[in-house]
Chain A
């Protein structure tokens, strides 16, 4: 079992719809969760962070965390073609005295006009 799992996609949604991206993780001790967006050929860009159970909203983005179910999701409202990218879920792992981020392989989102 991978430490951080994401559906690779592609997830195809029409412009204006809500895109829902999901991520599960295996380490119950994880405390911090991040969503990165990566355009093709570019580096990952941080878009959301969440640390407590529940929802966190930032503009068109909402991150949702459920630690009991070891599940984190990202909702993108009013999806635009410019949102087409790969979305990486990252979860902290504390081992050997250090915090590291473990990344999922990413979900590719395609927003079509």
Chain B
């Protein structure tokens, strides 16, 4: 089974702090994704990566950056946290990017509160 592990289930930070969310997968997947999930808005893609050191913007990248130094690890960075970034953050991974039939597998999520 695919295992996607997010470093924290719950996190509380203050406005203006730099926040790091970590994600590790154990299936040697090429692709990794960061989403946020808000009530009524569903899952929205923030950034994704299809290879080490590669990254692409998703639909809502503003205020975020990412890092992928190793294939198994994908980090989401909130450069200067703001209250509107309070949300559930979900990391996912999947196989080859050109194959549309690859499902994504999710970690347990990090519920982030910015005070």
Partner of A96, one of B41, B42, B56, B104: B56
**Can you pick out 22 interface pairs between chain A and chain B where the beta carbons lie within 8 Å of each other?**
A31-B100, A32-B100, A32-B101, A32-B102, A43-B90, A43-B106, A43-B107, A43-B108, A44-B43, A44-B106, A88-B42, A88-B43, A90-B104, A99-B97, A99-B99, A99-B100, A99-B102, A100-B48, A101-B104, A105-B40, A105-B41, A106-B42
Which B positions have Cβ atoms within 8 angstroms of A? 40-43, 45, 48, 50, 56, 58, 90, 97-109
Contact A34 B106 (CB under 8 A): no
Contact of A60 with B by CB under 8 A: no
B56 — which chain A residues lie within 8 A by C-beta?
96, 98
A92 — which chain B residues lie within 8 A by C-beta?
100
Contact of A46 with B by CB under 8 A: yes
Contact of A42 with B by CB under 8 A: yes
Which chain B residue lies CB-closest to A92?
Answer: B100
CA A101 to CA B40, docked complex, whole Å: 18
Contact of A45 with B by CB under 8 A: yes
Place the interface of chain A in its size category: 20 to 34
- Shortest distance in angstroms between A36's beta carbon and chain B's nearest beta carbon? 8
Contact of A49 with B by CB under 8 A: yes
Which chain A residue lies CB-closest to B56?
Answer: A98
Contact B90 A44 (CB under 8 A): yes
Contact B108 A42 (CB under 8 A): yes
Tell whether A98 pairs with B108 under 8 Å between CB atoms, given A31-B100, A92-B100, A103-B43.
Answer: no
- Shortest distance in angstroms between B46's beta carbon and chain A's nearest beta carbon? 12
Contact B42 A103 (CB under 8 A): yes
A34 — which chain B residues lie within 8 A by C-beta?
103
- The listed residue with most A CB atoms (<10 A of its CB), out of B97, B98, B101, is B101
Which chain A residue lies CB-closest to B9?
Answer: A41
- Shortest distance in angstroms between A103's beta carbon and chain B's nearest beta carbon? 4
- Shortest distance in angstroms between A50's beta carbon and chain B's nearest beta carbon? 10
Tell whether A105 pairs with B100 under 8 Å between CB atoms, given A43-B107, A43-B109, A44-B106.
Answer: no
Extra contacts besides A44-B90, A46-B105 (4): CB < 8 Å: A32-B101, A43-B109, A51-B101, A100-B48
Partner of A46, one of B45, B100, B103: B103
